[in-house]
Amino acid sequence: MRSDATQYDLIAPRSLDAVLQILADSPNRYAPIAGGTELMVAFGAGRLQPKKLVSLWNLSELRFIEERPDAIIIGAGSTFTDLRRNSLIARELPLLSQAASWTGSIANQNRATLGGNIVNASPAADSPPALLAYDATLTLVSTRGTRSMPYRDFHLSYKKTALAEDELLHSITVFCNFNGYIQWIRKVGHFQGRDRRSRPYSRRHHRRHTHWRRQSARNPGTSYCNRAISSQPGRYSCDHRCRTRRNPYRSPSHRRHSQHSEIPRRGCR
Amino acid sequence: MIRLTVNGQGRTIEAPPMKRLLDVLREDLHLTGAKEGCGEGECGSCSVLMNGDLVNSCLVPILQTEGAQITTIEGLAIDERLHPIQQCFLSEGGAQCGICTPGMILATYHLLERYPQPTLLQIQEGLSGNLCRCTGYTRIFNAVQQAALAGATG
């Protein structure tokens, strides 16, 4: 059954300091809510435990992406759309950019925040593997001050984190020293590299009509040729003459299996 | 008291701060275009534009819309004439029962704003959060392509 909105309170202070003060004054009583893609689901289902919430949505102190000479600092309130549209992240942190594109649908990416994804501590979240691979550092704030900790120490167990009651996740720092590394990421249980429910084709159609683009310096990732159509609306097969070859895989599971054995080859290149 | 702009009109809402934007639109403002499907952000039938971004209105507490610009399906038609995207959905048969259609059209609007000539993959990704149980999607994709060809950018 749905929750009764009159039983809940939500406040939206205008600054981070005001939020921290509220958390310090009444520990345990106020729960932070940012984009609401997790807590509002619980609210809708009538199982949201905290009755008092404090909104972090759109606080400018938490929504930023900053470049330092040796690191990239991402505010915890940055949405996945912010991450996807940021050219710095796309260039320097492709794993995170890719993971952001896998997180939920466009509407959810417009609201869900990276900080929320981390603090929610779901084992099914998309962004943590990328951040763990980058060995990111978290900055936590409270009225008592600021502390940093390696992200790998943050998750204690299922849905348990090292965050104190009065603390907020402020930002995520990734130190960029990836010279000599090859970055590669894959999502388990995936079709054609993204979470897509609007999948109208049969597997046979998929094999016949999707093309596989050769890997090259300009195309480091794996992608199907998608310069399809537009000249002939209603026709979905690829009708241009680019130098692609047909999808060599018999099925999605065959593709996944084959790609596993590709990883060491790429690493030795 | 929460002030926001809905379809270009300034509105003042008196509601509990945790009331969902979807309920405010439907119950307080009587804009019933946005539908409640799943109520948990999976189906997209409650999609609206909030400051130009597509959001699931079932997951937005009304307090977070303070000062925001909300566009619903009712705000898309101009002077009682259908928006070109709506026209294309009609002519291509991109709607059957109609529950998903307001969300589909707003998702298309949001997609074409960013990619005026989207590829099929971009269309599929742009509509990936909108579920339709009638059309099988093919006619919807055709409608989006027609809208793009007709130059129906947001």
Distance from CA of A194 to the nearest CA of B (A): 8
For residue A7, CA distances in Å to A67, B17, B111 come to: 43, 10, 37
Judge whether A200 is closer than 8 Å to chain B, CB to CB: yes
Local confidence band at A246 (pLDDT 50, 70, 90 cut-offs): low
Q: Is the pLDDT of residue A51 over 60?
A: yes
Determine contact: A8 vs chain B, CB below 8 A: yes
Considering only alpha carbons, which residue of chain B is nearest residue A40?
A: B59
In the predicted structure, residue A32 carries a pLDDT above the cut 70: yes
Query: What proportion of chain A, given as a percentage, has pLDDT over 70?
Result: 73
- A43 at interface of B, judged by CB pairs closer than 8 A: yes
**pLDDT confidence bin for A263, thresholds 50/70/90:** low
Exposed / middle / buried, residue B55 (Cβ in 10 Å: 0-12, 13-18, 19+): buried
Which tens digit of pLDDT belongs to each residue from B58-77?
999 999 999 999 999 999 98
Give the DSSP letter of residue A5: G
Mean pLDDT of A200-227: 47
Checking if the pLDDT of A115 tops 60, the result is yes
Which amino acid makes up residue A229? I
Dist CA B28 CA B7 (whole Å): 15
Quick one: tokens of A122?
A: 């779901």
- pLDDT recorded at residue A223: 39
The CA distance from A116 to A100, in Å, is 13
Three-class secondary structure of residue A142 per DSSP: strand
> What confidence tens digit (pLDDT) does each residue in A169-187 have?
999 999 988 878 888 888 8
Contacts of A6 in chain B (CB under 8 A): 16
A191: chain B residues, CB-CB within 8 Å: none
A248 pLDDT tier (thresholds 50, 70, 90): low
pLDDT at residue A39, as a whole number: 95
CB contact under 8 A, B18 and A12: no
Cβ separation A12–B141 shorter than 8 A:
no
Please give the biggest Cα pair distance in chain A: 66
Looking at per-residue pLDDT, the higher value among A72 and A219 belongs to A72
Q: What CA–CA distance (Å, rounded) separates B117 from A230?
A: 8
Rounded CA separation B143/B152 (Å): 11
Residue B92 burial by Cβ neighbours in a 10 Å radius (0-12, 13-18, 19+):
buried
Q: Do A9 and B18 touch (CB under 8 A)?
A: yes
